[in-house]
Structure 1
Amino acid sequence: MFYTRRTVFVFICSIVFLQALYYIITLQLKKNQTISPYDLTSDKEKLSVSNDTTLIQKIEPSFISTTSIQTLVPSFIKATYVLAINLTRPDPVVFKSYPVCNFSISNNDTSIYRVTVSKTIHPFDVIEKHHDDIDWGGHWFPKTCRTEQRLALIICYRNREFHLKLFLDNIHSFLKQQQLDYTIFVVNQHGTDQFNRAALFNVGFLEAMKLYSFDCFIFHDVDLIPEDLRNVYKCGDRPRHMSVAVDKFNYKLLYSTLFGGVTAFSLSDFVGANGYPTVYWGWGGEDDDMYLRVSRKLKKSITRYPIEIARYKMIRTYNHTSGKANPHRHDILYSKYDYNRDGINTTRYNLHELVFYKTFTMINVTLTEERFEQISARLNITKRKPAKKIKTIRRKA
């Protein structure tokens, strides 16, 4: 009798152990899978959303180095996330019956459009409660009208959690009031190589296009918050410089060709410019390069909202310091290199993970820094010679 009971007990324990082992293995496999919130749409449906499928075909990321390795995503305490989600979409039949969304800016009382920027840093769980109507991944669209554009708002990021919290809490309220269909992407540069703001924007564009056929892209610094609702986050027939007047610079445009901070591109314009340059490691150069791409490659001029509308507050605290200035930025910028040789088509990165947080989608990547000698050879750049000093000879009286 004792032997029979022991046999039964061992048998039951074995079953429990095998079930537990199966559960652990299954859970680990699920963690290693990243399911897009937009993957519920077939490829044909994705293409049908765009008015120009050839543009999507032009940016197929076959040249991208994509590897899945151990989790390297920054740890955001109290931020909820999922790896597999079912994005809520409007019923196509009902959606077509809705009126077109029209954010009115006709009121003569301009004070009603002024935005009060919140300066309180809340934990992520509190920010999520402030915006509990947002879908996973930082996606939102109006439920009573039909939007004409699909906006991907792309932020370059590294170690700026305080700024990110302030930005997210403010920008979601701002965009929802403008009745936009938008998704927020935060592209994190992992590793110790110098920060490459422009390359991260390209990564955000490429990864966003894998998820859904967006047709408007706004590239955004994490420390800039808009202050006027009339600064509508939409794309036009020309690229737009959004952050014209920043409080740090007394709400003045520093120079006429300034094209940094926040910029907006339609899909066709961004592809036509071959995206941002990838060759500016460290601070400076990429914004001016992008301005030249618009004027020289696209043969277009940029647009701006009036200075009293395109106002931004810059978050200037929390111990953030800019990266070192790129000593070669002027050599590259003024070389008149062929823009077809660098941009979207040369963007290389290792994709570690996509995580769909409640208020944003995190794209975590590593970039491999390219030395100036390699850049020079690839783009056929000749380093400029320093200007000769002119000797002055004093004549005797």
Structure 2
Amino acid sequence: MNRRINFMGYRLSGSKCLGICLMLTFVMGCYLAALPIRYEKEALPNPVRQRITSQETPKKRLAVLVPFRDRFEELLEFVPHMYSFLNRQKIPFHIFIVQQKDNNRFNRASLINVGFIYSKKDYDYIAMHDVDLLPLNDNLKYDYPAAGPMHISSPKTHPKYHYDTFIGGILLVTREQYELVNGMSNNYWGWGLEDDEFYVRLKDAKLTVMRPSNISTGIDNTFRHVHDKTYRKRDMRKCYNQREVTRRRDRETGVHDVSYKLHNTHTVAVDGLNVTVLNVELICDKNRTPWCQCPEPVKAAKKT
């Protein structure tokens, strides 16, 4: 049965109506396709930066503190040697040359105190390091000494000093360990004994000094000792009551009261390797330690 539909006043059959609808649909589709289309910009989420986490704990940073005065030939050997040695161990480190710039006698301990104060903000542990002692054995590890201060230059391998309580030469100490014992005594002007007093401080604080193990080398080939004692004589003079005072444990002075002026700092390149030089004036309290300036010994007149 062919139905008729009234469309806009016309009576159309069903088949014609279907044809018109299809035509209209086609025309509308073409019209819409020709229109410009505007897209609403969607709010994009903030970019997410993927965090890459390492399974390894970042290594602690080492400040190599070198008390120094007028030993440039030794420094020229020390810097490239230590860069090569510590880079092989992949130790994050920086070398600080703490140079004494005053007329007082050399004070190794106070210079280390100053170097510690300067570096402690950015470094986790220090190496108290003589400039004339170069490690040769790669099994001497300069790692963070969490278990206790690490004496690298053990009496069994140091070229000169072999007594059991010796901790001079090269000693690694964490920031917390150094602060616990109030650093080093400031009473030691001239050569010697400041490291022996520091050993007593560590012992009183119940800190056990560790030493390298499984070292197959000995006193002749573990270190290179570049000090020439005929060219650079040790200042071993004793004057006033120095001998009496420095034989006792110092319970008063330390890193908290070291008296000094930091005149300036410089970045210096040795063979293209950067170190930081601290130019330090140590201030002597002559009422406490008059031996910071010992009078030169009077030479006996020759008999004629």
Report the TM-score, using the length of structure 1 for normalisation.
0.54
Q: Do structure 1's residue 316 and structure 2's residue 227 form an aligned pair?
A: yes
Distance 1:321 1:308 in 2: 32
Among 169, 172, 175, the residue aligned to 2:80: 169
Among 164, 169, 180, the residue aligned to 1:261: 169
Where structure 1 has 5 or more consecutive residues not aligned to the other structure, the ranges are 1-92, 101-145, 377-397
- Answer whether contact 2:133 2:225 (CA < 8 A) is retained: yes
- Residues 331 and 179 (structure 1), Cα distance of their counterparts in 2 relative to 1, 3 Å cut: same
Note the 1:325-364 alignment, pairs <5 A.
325-327=237-239, 328=241, 330-338=243-251, 341-358=252-269, 359-364=274-279
Deviations 1:1-25 (A, max 9, x none): xxxxxxxxxxxxxxxxxxxxxxxxx
Tell me the residue number matched to 1:127.
none
SS in 1 for 2:263: strand
Deviations 1:285-343 (A, max 9, x none): 101000000001x11221111353682110033922222344555423443442xx210
Distance 1:243 1:236 in 2: 18
User: If each structure's helix is expressed as a fraction of its own residues, which one has the higher value?
Assistant: 1
The amino acid that maps onto 2:233 is: T
Distance 1:286 1:193 in 2: 16
- Answer whether contact 1:189 1:195 (CA < 8 A) is retained: yes
Distance 1:236 1:308 in 2: 24
Distance 2:223 2:128 in 1: 15
Among 200, 210, 222, the residue aligned to 1:303: 210
User: If each structure's strand is expressed as a fraction of its own residues, which one has the higher value?
Assistant: 2
Distance 1:190 1:336 in 2: 27
Note the 1:95-114 alignment, pairs <5 A.
96-97=53-54, 100=56
The amino acid that maps onto 1:323 is: D
Distance 1:247 1:335 in 2: 25
- Residues 285 and 325 (structure 1), Cα distance of their counterparts in 2 relative to 1, 3 Å cut: farther
Distance 1:324 1:334 in 2: 14
Alignment length, in residue pairs? Answer: 229
Distance 1:337 1:315 in 2: 31
Distance 2:75 2:184 in 1: 23
The amino acid that maps onto 1:305 is: P
- Answer whether contact 2:151 2:211 (CA < 8 A) is retained: yes
Tell me the residue number matched to 2:295.
none
Distance 2:122 2:227 in 1: 35
Report the TM-score, using the length of structure 2 for normalisation.
0.69
SS in 2 for 1:228: coil
Tell me the residue number matched to 2:7.
none
The amino acid that maps onto 1:242 is: I
CA RMSD of aligned residues (A): 2.3
- Residues 301 and 166 (structure 1), Cα distance of their counterparts in 2 relative to 1, 3 Å cut: same
- Answer whether contact 1:147 1:181 (CA < 8 A) is retained: no
SS in 1 for 2:231: coil
Tell me the residue number matched to 2:192.
284
Distance 1:323 1:354 in 2: 27
Among 152, 157, 162, the residue aligned to 1:242: 152
Distance 1:246 1:326 in 2: 29
Larger Rg: 2
- Answer whether contact 1:221 1:262 (CA < 8 A) is retained: yes
- Residues 336 and 195 (structure 1), Cα distance of their counterparts in 2 relative to 1, 3 Å cut: closer
Where structure 2 has 5 or more consecutive residues not aligned to the other structure, the ranges are 1-50, 291-304
How much identity, in percent, do the aligned residues show? 28
Among 254, 261, 283, the residue aligned to 1:368: 283
Per the TM alignment, residue 186 of structure 1 is displaced from its structure 2 partner at its CA by 0.3
